Amino acid sequence: MKRKRSHNLNNLLLFLVIALFVPLIFGSNQYNILLITTVLIYGVMATSWNIIGGLAGQLDLASFAYLGLGAFTSSTLFIRFNLTPWIGMILGGLVAVAFALFIGFPLFRFRIRGVWYALTTTALVEVLKVVFNMWEEVGGPVERYLPYFSGSIKYMRFGSYIPYYYLILGMLVIALLVNSRIAHSKLGFYLKALGEDETAAEVLGVNARACKLRALVYYAFLIGVTGAIYSNIYGYVHPSFFNGPESIKVAILGIVGGRGITYGPLLAALLLVGAQEFLRASLGGEVSGLYLVIYSVILILVVLFKPRGIATFFQDRNKKPAKQEVKKKNVV
Amino acid sequence: MLSEQILKTSKLTKRFGNLIAVNQVDIEIKKEEIIGLIGPNGAGKTTFFNLITGLEAPDEGQVIFKGTNITAMSPHTICKLGMSRTFQVAKSFTEMSVEDAIRVGAYNRRGEEEVQNKVDWVLKFFELEDIRDFKCSDLGLSSLRKVEVARAAATEPELLLLDEVGAGLTATELLKLMSELKRLNQETKITLCIVEHVMQMVMGLCERIFVLDAGELIAKGIPSEISNNQRVIEAYLGRGRYSEPSSTG
C-alpha cells in the first residue's frame, strides 16, 4: 500500500508540473486560459464529489447548490460590506458546510439513501435557485456584478485569468490531497464499507450517520470555497449558479472517472469536459450541438468498456500479472 | 468467572402486524460459552438476533449485555460495547479486498498505528493470508463466510452472533469451520451464539442449546437433552402418528 501511495504521489507531481506550465503555452490567449480553468473547476468539483459519491456511495446531485452558496456568500459580503473574497471564500465554504449539515442531518437520521437521496439532492439545487431568485436582498433575477478594481490582489480581482487558473489549480491539489488522505484513513474504510452495505458496516462498529455527515462536510467545504473563486472569475453572481443539469454532470464525471479512485474523477473531467469545451469552441460555429453528440459517444464507450471507470484502465494495466495469479488459484 | 452472565433477555417480544415473530423470550448466556439457537424455518431466530444487535427495536422486553441495558441502542454502539454478528445472507463488501474488509472491523478497537497488526493477526488466525488481496466478489461461498466471521472477530467482541454460517458448505468445509470456531472460542475467550440448521454443527459445537418455535422458547439444555425432547421433535417433524404411538397401538 505504501508503494501505491508514492506511485500516486509521483503521478500527482507529474500532473502538477505540466499544469504549472500550461499558462506559459496558452497564456497569450485569455479565452484558452478560461476554458482550461473551467475544465479544472469541474475537476475540483468531481474530485470533491468523490468523497461523498465515490467513497461513501451516496449519489449526491447537489454539487452546484454548495457552489452557489459559496459564490453568493462571498459575493454578497464583497458587494455589501467590502469584505475581501480571500476571507469571503472561507466563509462561503463554512456557509456551504452549515447548509450541508442542516440538510444531511435529517436525511441520514431517517436513512434516506439510494434513489431517494439522489432525488432529494436534485430538488435541493432547484429549491435554492427559486429561493435566490426571489430573495431580492441577496440575489434576484438580475446579475449582481462584483466591484471592479483593476489588478487588485487584495480583492481577488486580477484583470487576467491566469491567477485564477493557479487558484483553481491550488484548490484541485487540496481536493486531491484531502481525497487521498481520507481514502487511506479510518474514515475512508468506514465510508467504503457503508457504501457497500450499511447494515453490515454498522454491526462492525461504523457510525454510518456520523461518517456520512463528515464526508458531506468535506465535500461541501471544498465546493463552497471553489464557488467563491468561481464568482470572482466570472465577475458576477446569479441564481442560475444553482445549476441542476451541471450537478448531474459532476456526478457523471465522478462515476465515469472511477468511483472511490482518488484521481479518477479528475481524469474524467480532463477528458470529457476538456473534449466538450474544445469541441464546442471548434465546432460550435459550424454544426451547433455536434459537440454534445461526440461527448455522448465518449460517455457510452466508457460505460461499455470501462464500467468501473476510466481510471481502472491504468489500474488494470498495472495489475495484469496479479489477475492471472488469481485465476490460477481459483482453479486449484 | 465461568458462570458470569454476558447476555440476558427478558420477555423480549417483536410483532410484525398480527404476527408475533418473537414472543416473551427469556434467555441468558454465560461468558465463554458456545450457545446454539435452533428452530424450524420462521421460528424467529434471525429476528431475535436483530433485536439483540439493535437492528430492530423490540415491542416489549429488555436486552441486558454485560449488565448494561442495550435495548434502544444503535448497532454501532452495541458493537463498541463488545457484540458483533454475521448475516444469514452474506453481506459482503464486494468491491473491497479481504484485507480491507477485515480492516473495517479492526478499526473498532484499534487506532491507525495498531490496526495493521490486528488485521495481520486475524488473517493468520483464519488462514486467509493467501487471499488477502482478493476482492470479496471473487471469493467462493466458504471463503466468503470465513471473511464474514473474521471481519466480525476483528472488532474484538466479547459476544459473537453467527447467523447460519454453515449453510451451503460441504462436509469438509463445515468441519474446518467448526474447528476454527472452537479455536476462536478457546484462544480469545469470545462467547459464541450460533443460529444453525446444520445439526451436525450445532450438536458438535454447542455446550447449550435454545430451541425457538413460532417465536417462543420451547426448550433449553445440553445437546443430548434437546435431541430427545418431545416438544422439539414435534416442532421439527410435526404432531401426528409419530408422536402418538400409544393411541394407535
Shortest CA gap A181–chain B (Å): 13
CB–CB of A205 and B134 under 8 A? no
Give the closest-approach CA distance of B103 to chain A in angstroms: 8
| B131·A329 Cβ contact <8 A | yes
Q: Note whether B104 contacts A329, CB cutoff 8 Å.
A: no
Q: Which of these ranges, A10-24, A131-145, A309-323, has the smallest mean pLDDT?
A: A309-323
- The C-alpha cell that represents B88 in the structure block: 444469514
Closest CA to A71 of A17, A159, A144: A144
Which of A204, A315, A327 to probe the B interface (max B CBs under 10 A)?
Answer: A204
B94 touching A (Cβ < 8 Å):
yes
Q: Give tens-digit pLDDT for B47-97.
A: 999 999 999 999 999 999 999 999 989 999 999 999 999 998 878 898 899
Nearest to B72 by CA among B49, B56, B85, B87: B56
Q: What percent of chain B has pLDDT over 70?
A: 94
Predicted local distance difference test score (pLDDT) of residue A317: 55
Asked if B84's CB is within 8 angstroms of A204's CB, the reply is yes
Region B6-34 average pLDDT: 92
Burial A298-320 (b: 16+ CB within 10 A, else e): beeebeeebebbbbbeeeeeeee
State the average pLDDT over residues A228-238: 94
Contact B84 A208 (CB under 8 A): no
- Mutate which of A202, A203, A261 to test chain B, going by most B C-beta atoms within 10 A? A203
User: Is A205 close to B130, i.e. CB distance below 8 A?
Assistant: no
Number of folded domains that form chain A: 1
Cβ neighbourhood burial of B202 (10 Å; 0-12, 13-18, 19+): buried
Set of cell numbers at residue B122: 486475524
B101 and A201: CB-CB below 8 Å?
no
| Domains, chain B | 5-248 (3.40.50.300)
Q: What integer is the mean pLDDT of B160-188?
A: 90
B110 Cβ under 8 Å from any chain A Cβ: no
- Is B143's Cβ below 8 Å from some Cβ in A? no
Kindly write down the DSSP assignment for every residue of B51-105, as one continuous string: HHTTSS--SEEEEEETTEE-TT--HHHHHHHTEEE--SS----TTSBHHHHHHHH
What's the mean per-residue pLDDT of chain A?
87
- Please check whether residue B84 touches A, CB under 8 A: yes
How far is the C-alpha of A44 from the C-alpha of A38, rounded, in Å? 10
Instruction: Look at B107 and A208 and tell me if their CB atoms are within 8 Å.
Output: no
A9 has pLDDT over 80: no
Q: Which residue shows C-alpha cell 469470545? A: B190
Whole-angstrom CA distances from A100 to A53, A60, A94, A239, A321 are 14, 11, 10, 18, 44
Residue bearing the bigger pLDDT, A308 or B78: B78
Residue B232 has pLDDT above 90, yes or no: no
Contact A196 B94 (CB under 8 A): yes
Q: What residues contact residue B100 under an 8 Å CB cut-off, 6+ apart?
A: A189, A192, B93
**CA atoms of A180 and A51, how far apart (whole Å):** 10
State the residue range of the domain holding A48: 2-331
Amino acid at B144: L
Question: Which residues of chain A are within 8 Å of residue B113 when distances are taken between CB atoms?
Answer: none
Contact B93 A192 (CB under 8 A): yes
pLDDT band, very low/low/confident/very high, at A323 (cuts 50, 70, 90): very low
pLDDT, mean over chain B: 89
Checking if the pLDDT of A292 tops 90, the result is: no
Contacts of B85 in chain A (CB under 8 A): 203
**Around A33, how many Cα atoms within 13 Å sit in the side-chain half-sphere?**
24
**Under an 8 A CB cutoff, do B103 and A189 touch?**
yes
Q: Cβ atoms within 10 A of the Cβ of B184, count?
A: 19
From the centroid of its chain, how far is CA A94?
17
Give the number of other CB atoms < 10 A from CB of residue A4: 11
Alpha-helix runs per DSSP H in chain B: 45-52, 75-81, 98-106, 115-125, 141-153, 171-188, 199-205, 223-228, 230-237, 245-248
Q: Give tens-digit pLDDT for B130-147.
A: 999 999 999 988 899 999
Closest CA to B87 of B192, B141, B161, B158: B161
Are B71 and B9 in contact by the 8 Å Cβ rule? The answer is no
Domain at A113, CATH number: 1.10.3470
Please give the pLDDT value at position B1.
Answer: 45
Minimal C-alpha gap between B23 and chain A (Å): 24
Which residues are bridge partners to B60 per DSSP? B13
Find the mean pLDDT for residues B185-191.
93
Choose, out of B93, B119, B156, B160, the residue to mutate when testing the contact with A (most A CBs < 10 Å).
B93
Half-sphere exposure of B168 (CA within 13 A, CB side): 13
CA distances for A155 relative to A167, B71, B106, B233, angstroms:
14, 57, 49, 84
Residue A214, pLDDT > 90, answer: yes
Which residues from A are below 8 Å from B when comparing CB atoms? 185-186, 189-190, 192-193, 196-197, 199-208, 260, 322, 326, 329-330
Q: Which residues does B7 contact at the CB level (< 8 Å), separation at least 6?
A: B27, B28, B29, B52, B63, B64, B65, B66, B83, B159, B191, B193
- A329 has a pLDDT exceeding 90: no
Count how many Cα atoms sit within 13 Å of the Cα of residue A178 in the half-sphere of its side chain. Answer: 24
pLDDT digits (tens, 9 = 90+) for A51-102: 999 999 999 999 999 999 999 999 999 999 989 999 999 999 999 999 999 9
Q: Amino acid identity, residue A290?
A: L
Q: What is the dihedral of CA B22, B26, B30, B31, to 10 degrees?
A: 50
Share of chain A above pLDDT 90, in %: 57
Torsion angle of alpha carbons A67, A72, A73, A74, nearest 10°?
90
B30 or A280, greater pLDDT: B30
Alpha carbons B194 and B165: distance in angstroms, whole number: 8
Residue A194 Cα, gap to closest chain B Cα (Å): 9
Q: Quick one: pLDDT band at residue A203, thresholds 50, 70, 90? A: very high
Angle of the A115-134 helix axis to the A63-81 helix axis, nearest 10: 20
C-beta separation of B85 from B156 below 8 A: no
Q: Which residues in chain B have their CB less than 8 angstroms from residue A190's CB? A: 104, 107
A310 pLDDT more than 60: yes
- Closest partner residue to B104 (CB to CB) among A190, A329, A330 is A190
Q: B15 pLDDT band (50/70/90 cuts)?
A: very high
Phi-psi region of A151 (alpha: psi -120 to 50; beta: other; left: phi over 0): left
In which element (H, E) is residue B36 found?
A: strand B34-38
Kindly provide the b/e burial profile for residues A215-242, where b requires at least 16 CB atoms within 10 angstroms of the residue's own CB: bbbbbbbbbbbbbbbbbbbbeebbbebb
